[in-house]
Amino acid sequence: MKRVAFAVLWTFLLTFVFLFLCCVVAGVASAITLKGDVAQNQAAIDKASREWAGPMFFGSLAAAVVLSAWGVLPGTRRRPAATTGPGVPADCDFPADCDFPPARPTITVPVGTPDDLPPEVAALGPPLRIHEPGSIAAMSGFTRFLTFGIGLLLLVGPLVVMNAIGHDQIPKTTYQVLVIGGILAGLMCLVIAIVPRSPYTYRVHHDALVVSDRKTMRIVPWDQIQALIPEVPFFTDLTVLTRDGQELPIKTSVRDFHQLRDTVFVRVRDHLLPLMIRKADAGRMVEFGPLAISSDALTYKGATTPWDEVTKLLILTGSGVRKLMIYHRSGLGLWPFIQLNLDRVPNTLLLLELLKRIAPPRLLVPAEARW
């Protein structure tokens, strides 16, 4: 649903962008091709505008719909498949016969009180840490309404007071400071008032992560987390994908978010990485979105390449983007046959850890900086 909402928003914006560009091109073309009397030129332009207004609008709308539906714009991208291996058979006896533990339904229980937790949560023992919503994310509706009112007052209050007192009664510098300061403070209050309220609280236990949303508490054992889907700033949160298919967001608005994120990664790494290494060492592919790797070869978008054919492996960072680039001999080492945006790949940190352990040592060398 969120992806559809972003697609609609982008369609609306791009329709007017394309329409504006069409008008600019038409204006330039008219200025170049039309010569002679100004009145005749204006009449010709008006006639062309009436004839082409409809096609230009619907053409711009069609282009906007195509581009929005393509999935290349922020918020409209489809999440890549988050798989760590083939499906686990129902009769699988982990770990003797399986690569990964069998999926179990996530336990969901009603929220209790701090002194009367549900038995399923109480059985986990005392939490190692509790991450509650931050001060702004936990603000009540009344507090937000009051903050919004204060913001409006700060926006218009200084101007009203100055006009009532008289501009000539106050030094110009003081007047500017009061007006600019009031506007900035008012805008800050308005932003704080409209920041979404977060219902999520996270309880970190030794054996599980408990996610509460004010109505229910979901108990997710660490070995039931299948993937961590990276966040896209301003669009999506870091997401925990469970083996039974549930997606649980890790909100940045909770207290000590970075500590919570690091804890979740370490716990997931401790459970998944040994299983991935064992599977890769057995010559079977471990999948990370469009890329799959094993100790013998790697597969990208259906094409398999042995490690012996790989000549260089680079991780590029900069401008907020991380890319994995892999070269092989058939390309003469001039261009990569794999370019993978690591910020779009599930379990991206586990991918890097696995590469360190199974890639040939000749590829695991520091790159020389080039200026």
pLDDT tens across 1-26, in order?
445 555 655 565 555 555 555 555 55
**Residue whose structure tokens are 């890319």:** 323
- 186 in the same domain as 148: yes
268 within some domain: yes
- For residues 89-115, give the mean pLDDT: 64
Q: What angle do CA 124, 125, 128 make, to 5 degrees?
A: 100
Q: Which residue has the higher pLDDT, 299 or 88?
A: 299
306 within some domain: yes
Q: Contact 155/182 with Cβ under 8 angstroms? A: yes
- 219 in the same domain as 184: no
- pLDDT at residue 90 in the model: 40
300 within some domain: yes
- 241 in the same domain as 111: yes
- For residues 293-303, give the mean pLDDT: 89
- Quick check: bond before 158 cis, omega within 30? no
Q: Contact 358/294 with Cβ under 8 angstroms? A: yes
Residue range of the domain that includes 291: 283-363
> In which band, very low, low, confident or very high, does the pLDDT at 263 lie, cut at 50, 70 and 90?
very high
Residue among 97, 121, 103 nearest 111 (CA): 121
13 within some domain: yes
- 111 in the same domain as 236: yes
Number of domains into which the chain is organized: 4
Summarised one tens digit per residue, pLDDT across range 192-213 is 777 766 788 899 999 999 998 8
- 173 in the same domain as 154: yes
151 within some domain: yes
Residue among 208, 201, 222, 218 nearest 114 (CA): 201
Q: Which residue has the higher pLDDT, 166 or 101?
A: 101
Q: At 327, which helix (H) or strand (E)? A: strand 321-328
Token digits for 12? 């609306």
> In which band, very low, low, confident or very high, does the pLDDT at 91 lie, cut at 50, 70 and 90?
very low
209 within some domain: yes
Instruction: Please state, in angstroms and rounded to a whole number, the distance separating the CA atoms of residues 191 and 151.
Output: 9
Q: Which residue has the higher pLDDT, 306 or 84?
A: 306
81 within some domain: no
> In which band, very low, low, confident or very high, does the pLDDT at 267 lie, cut at 50, 70 and 90?
very high
- 163 in the same domain as 54: no
- For residues 146-169, give the mean pLDDT: 69
CA distance readout (Å), 352 to 273, 342, 356:
11, 9, 6
Q: Which residue has the higher pLDDT, 214 or 359?
A: 359
Q: What secondary structure does DSSP assign to 256-284, as a single string?
A: THHHHHHHHHHHHHHHHHHHHHHHHHTT-
- pLDDT at residue 371 in the model: 38
- 303 in the same domain as 240: no
SS3 153: helix
* % of the chain surpassing 70 pLDDT: 60
Among 65-69, 129-133, 192-196, 213-217, the minimum mean pLDDT is found in 65-69
- Asked if the model's pLDDT at residue 261 lies above 80, the reply is yes
- 213 in the same domain as 111: yes
Residue among 349, 281, 352 nearest 99 (CA): 281
- 227 in the same domain as 111: yes
- For residues 325-344, give the mean pLDDT: 79
132 within some domain: no
- Asked if the model's pLDDT at residue 76 lies above 50, the reply is yes
- For residues 363-370, give the mean pLDDT: 63
- 248 in the same domain as 344: no
- 189 in the same domain as 318: no
CATH number for the domain spanning 235: value is 2.30.29
- For residues 152-168, give the mean pLDDT: 67
SS3 136: coil
- 60 in the same domain as 13: yes
